[in-house]
Structure 1
Amino acid sequence: MNPAVPTWAGVAASAALIALTIAVAWHGRLRLGRDITVAAVRAALQLAAVGALLLLVFRHTGLTGAIGWLGIMVLIAGQVAARRTPALPKALPTATAAITIGTAATMGTLLALGVIATQARVVIPVGGMVVSGAMQATALALTRLHDEVRTARPAIEARLSLGLAATDAFAPHQRTIVRTALIPALDSTKTVGVISLPGAMTGLILAGVDPFTAIRYQIVVMYMLLAAAALAALIAVRLSERALFDDAHRLRPLAAQSAGS
């Protein structure tokens, strides 16, 4: 047994942190005690279920099962990324396509170049990080695009009235949107190892791996997250741009959005 990995008794003891969180919420009269308890129990049950499923995938399905697992991740990630911008035309297929392409291109490059092994126990966790990074960038891009279209509609329509094509009229906003979506990935890449030790590196060190070996893996992780975010954000904006304009290069009106969205 690896002494760096908590035992089940240690996991149970860590529930004291949840009790502390509930106590803080109660003292502050936040009325979050029930929500915190449900979240903690749900997280434990979900992770236990995922652990059991991963054990089956690792033992019986191999790379095919890993690809199927990533496919399910992508579908869920697409729904999450599109959830905040239901007013955008074709938000769900756009988000799903952007995350799919960003993930497939990044993972395909890593596998084709032999950077990571083709084993399911490697492809699934690495692919999960890629999907998560692509999802965050896509969500930021779509949210920023939605706000940009609402606030900058007069400027876009003014360019269209001057005879510019839809692509040219929207180009300045497209660049702003993609830059904004890439800020978290860029900041994380710039400050990695300075502010905190990232998850992959920390996990490897806790597992007893030599720090320099862990660093090599973390460098690959940062590069792949940046690539996945850039691809997903750019594709999300490009696909959304096509959906925003009709064949006559007119900017479509956004659908009404509920206050709770």
Structure 2
Amino acid sequence: MISFLSTIVPAFIFVIMSIIIAYKEELGLEKKILIVCISALIQLLILGFIINIIFNLGLFFTFLMIFVMILIASYMIKNEININERSIIFLSSCFSLLFTSTISLLILIYSGIVELKPQYIIPLVGMVIGNSMNSITLCLERLLNDLKSNKDILWGYLALGANDYQAMKPFIRNAIKAALIPQMNRTKTVGLIFIPGAMVGMLLSGADPIRAAEIQIVIMWMILSGTLLSTLITCYLIYKKFMKYV
């Protein structure tokens, strides 16, 4: 407890500094900054306790936790997309995240990169789920907005004899490309502009820098492929539903 307070209390200076700057610049974000920072603290503490318990319970509860993470991520995606039939977004996101997580985990395990242990599985798969969730949300928002603003183009494709898939493919392609830009930029600049979190954590724990770099590049490649696969699957599962809102 003393160690926890000695870390958290001094670090709260960053929060206070952000609040002061927001107040001075009249941004109106003081309350939101405080809320999100306190929320992050509570959530991470709860996560720490849960993971500590799961580490001692075995693989069944590890996979159960991953499934719960997928459900939560799918629920958050569903709430961000403004259509009436949100259940299809939830189900499509669940399937794509589950499929992507499974593929990523199988590659990691059977290639011998990591061991089948909770301390490896939970954080690595969690990275795939979290980044894929953001990319899916960006992709679906872009797809829906593009369809609404360019409906004449869509109707033109259909009038010329294209089927639904052929008419939607250019929109899907542009949406996926836009959603992948943040991850592409992170992958392109890793090691040059910033040191990513996993590598920082390993370096702080005293790991060999070369080993830390090896693990980090595996993670970056895994996340990039995971975001691409999950956005692609989700788009092709729900594109017909989106056509109804054009």
2:5 is aligned with 1:8: yes
More displaced stretch, 94-103 vs 191-200: 94-103
1:11 aligned partner, one-letter code: I
Question: Is contact 2:54–2:61 with CA below 8 Å preserved after alignment?
Answer: yes
Which of 1 and 2 has higher RCO (CA within 8 Å, sep 6+)?
A: 1
Question: Is contact 2:148–2:245 with CA below 8 Å preserved after alignment?
Answer: no
Give the counterpart of 1:32 among 24, 29, 38: 29
Identify, as 1 or 2, the structure richer in helix.
2
Paired with 2:245 and 2:17, the residues of 1 have a C-alpha distance of 49
Q: Which residue of 2 aligns with 1:252?
A: 244
Question: Is contact 1:111–1:117 with CA below 8 Å preserved after alignment?
Answer: yes
**Pairing 1:1-261 to 2, within 5 Å after superposition:** 8-59=5-56, 61-87=57-83, 89=85, 90-244=88-242, 251-253=243-245
RMSD of the TM alignment (CA)?
1.8
TM-score, normalised on structure 2?
0.91
Paired with 1:50 and 1:169, the residues of 2 have a C-alpha distance of 44
Paired with 2:127 and 2:103, the residues of 1 have a C-alpha distance of 14
Deviation at 1:213, TM superposition (A): 0.6
The C-alpha deviation readout for 1:10-43, integer Å capped at 9, x for no partner, is 3211112222222222222334333333333222
Paired with 1:95 and 1:139, the residues of 2 have a C-alpha distance of 10
More displaced stretch, 81-90 vs 127-136: 81-90
Paired with 2:75 and 2:162, the residues of 1 have a C-alpha distance of 33
Question: Is contact 1:103–1:134 with CA below 8 Å preserved after alignment?
Answer: no
Paired with 1:161 and 1:111, the residues of 2 have a C-alpha distance of 49
Q: 1:20 to 1:130 in 2, by over 3 A?
A: same
Deviation at 1:94, TM superposition (A): 2.1
Paired with 1:185 and 1:19, the residues of 2 have a C-alpha distance of 30
Q: 1:21 to 1:118 in 2, by over 3 A?
A: same
Question: Is contact 1:98–1:138 with CA below 8 Å preserved after alignment?
Answer: no
Q: 1:106 to 1:153 in 2, by over 3 A?
A: same
2:54 aligned partner, one-letter code: V
Question: Is contact 2:22–2:29 with CA below 8 Å preserved after alignment?
Answer: yes
TM-score, normalised on structure 1?
0.86
* Aligned positions, number: 242
3-state SS, counterpart of residue 116 of structure 2: coil
